[in-house]
Structure 1
């Protein structure tokens, strides 16, 4: 039975904070609206949260009876996918190429033998070896439809070999953050005349899905949003305070998901080529980029680079912060 979904909205003195739960995370939407606009703030937050829930419902492997389950029910057969799924698969394919196969949406199968609960339980090599034949983007067949006259992709054709799985968890929250922000801006466009007549500034919005952020503008003209990056040592405590005015910010790390055996820490970030955690991975990387999904990809790719992560991040030219 699905849990009751609700959005709470509270005035914080200069902006609204709305909270809800999605994608196994506590989520927030911050809206730089005047207190007199609470009705609008609640409407925006509810519609933006609904967009996050829509994506979760469609692509979650836990839901069942959804788009994700339909894709896997047709394993071994060529199937047509919708425009949104095509965009996600195109992005995943690009990420796979950019990472030389290290970023792979088919590697979610490894969760069957790896449970990163802070314990010392490591899987046997035989368990990993049994899964590796079903991992590898190159083993599936994906053909995107060509873009139309407006440059839009309308769909595509996927053949997922039997025994293989797709796991959208590596890009799901970041994509949902960008989509929720886009929904908010679309709704604001419809009521922009009310701001012009009241003399209000165009309001900044910030979507926070468990630490993955998408932002449309600052809190005020001269004041950015203040965002904390969680400490590696103390849970629910920020060790970095970043200023965010626009674009995406994503953090990837192993502060909560890891294994520890004989003094060696095993990161939750797995190498799909070997089935084992990446060696010498940084503990935490935060990246700022034009969109949240871009920021999330770069943060993940940096961790996958292991000892070469810092030089990789520098080469991107994007702002980044490392905790190690």
Structure 2
């Protein structure tokens, strides 16, 4: 589970087929908007009639997108000292702590996934993420001592976190509890931007934040959105291209945000159950869902569970999943029938 300001998930290279333009002002055209958020980048592609997409109107749309993402950051960033999440992490009382409706919505989904995975996914893993140098705390580039890990593990556990939906509030039974929503907040941000576009009657679009993607409708001329998954070898090559329509895809991987100490590589993905970085052979997992937030959370959960338990979890819960597993000197592709069925339908 990862830091919000580091590229904690695989960044997809979104290969979108741009269409040619003609002189007709009403022809649908693809327009791009990009910026920065949550310590990474975002890209939005929208299909609009040429006569409606003036530069001034696109600037207004980008300002609204930036405003939406600023609110999400102010609610859920561990890097903004005044965010709702940071204030809750500093709060040591056991009383109910008021939060926004959206914040409660994300917490509720995170708790659901934590329960489903028996704690393999746990947003209270923050103290361990920080200890290993992937959070706001300064990284000393040293492997933590066993005593440090044991001490931090006592501060971790979603069982110490309670949610009240109305009025929205959370509370901690362990004063040292520290939450990190980086494994699900980007996906939620994608959903919020998508909701903004739909409210504005923009129905053909692609939204991506730090590699988490949601699509709606088509590109111009009814082409499906083509989303590339980068190769697990860490290169800039594309390993697989999937066609998406009204779906989200989130990918979690083990090779873009690690560090090496004394010749040994340490993953940024921390297993809350052991207090240590994952060490299994699953190097990439992509999840499909209508909600990017849900796909984001499940991708992290399955990444923690690994190639065997993670795949069994996906099968049991009928989750559309694509895995890349390292076996000797090659990457083996493995997917659930739900993933294959969705792609077959879209193709």
Identify if the C-alpha distance between structure 1 residues 251 and 31 changes in structure 2 by more than 3 Å, giving closer, same or farther.
Answer: same
Q: 1:137 and 2:158 equivalent?
A: yes
Superimposed CA distance per residue, residues 18-64 of structure 1 (whole angstroms, 9 cap, x where no aligned partner): 11011111210000113332234443333123211210122211111
Q: 1:252 and 2:252 equivalent?
A: yes
Identify unmatched segments of 5+ residues in structure 2. Answer: 1-17, 21-28, 326-347
**Alignment partner for residue 48 of structure 1, among 65, 68, 73?**
65
Q: 1:24 and 2:39 equivalent?
A: yes
How far apart in 2 are the matches of 1:102 and 1:244? 29
Identify if the C-alpha distance between structure 1 residues 54 and 262 changes in structure 2 by more than 3 Å, giving closer, same or farther.
Answer: same
1:114 counterpart residue number = 132
**Alignment partner for residue 176 of structure 1, among 165, 189, 204?**
189
Asked if the contact 1:47/1:184 (under 8 Å) is kept, the reply is no
Please list, as runs of the form range in 1=range in 2, the aligned pairs for 1:62-141 lying within 5 A after superposition: 62-78=79-95, 79-115=97-133, 121-140=142-161
- TM-score, normalising length from structure 2? 0.76
- Higher relative contact order (CA closer than 8 Å, sequence separation 6+): 2
1:168 deviates by 1.3
How far apart in 2 are the matches of 1:211 and 1:285? 12
1:231 counterpart residue number = 231
Asked if the contact 1:215/1:244 (under 8 Å) is kept, the reply is yes
Paired residues, number: 293
1:158 counterpart residue number = 171
**Alignment partner for residue 199 of structure 2, among 186, 191, 211?**
186
Asked if the contact 2:285/2:303 (under 8 Å) is kept, the reply is yes
Q: 1:38 and 2:53 equivalent?
A: yes
How far apart in 2 are the matches of 1:179 and 1:25? 17
1:197 counterpart residue number = none
- Please give the secondary structure, in 1, of the residue aligned with 2:33: strand
**More displaced stretch, 175-184 vs 162-171:** 162-171
Asked if the contact 2:74/2:82 (under 8 Å) is kept, the reply is no
Q: 1:240 and 2:261 equivalent?
A: no
Identify if the C-alpha distance between structure 1 residues 167 and 160 changes in structure 2 by more than 3 Å, giving closer, same or farther.
Answer: farther
* Backbone CA RMSD of aligned residues: 2.6
Identify if the C-alpha distance between structure 1 residues 99 and 57 changes in structure 2 by more than 3 Å, giving closer, same or farther.
Answer: same
Asked if the contact 1:267/1:281 (under 8 Å) is kept, the reply is no
1:310 deviates by 2.8
1:69 deviates by 2.8
- TM-score, normalising length from structure 1? 0.81
Asked if the contact 1:213/1:250 (under 8 Å) is kept, the reply is yes
Asked if the contact 1:72/1:160 (under 8 Å) is kept, the reply is no
1:262 deviates by 7.1
**More displaced stretch, 255-264 vs 39-48:** 255-264
- Please give the secondary structure, in 2, of the residue aligned with 1:158: strand
How far apart in 1 are the matches of 2:196 and 2:153? 39
1:102 deviates by 1.3
How far apart in 2 are the matches of 1:281 and 1:173? 25
2:296 counterpart residue number = 296
Asked if the contact 1:105/1:167 (under 8 Å) is kept, the reply is yes
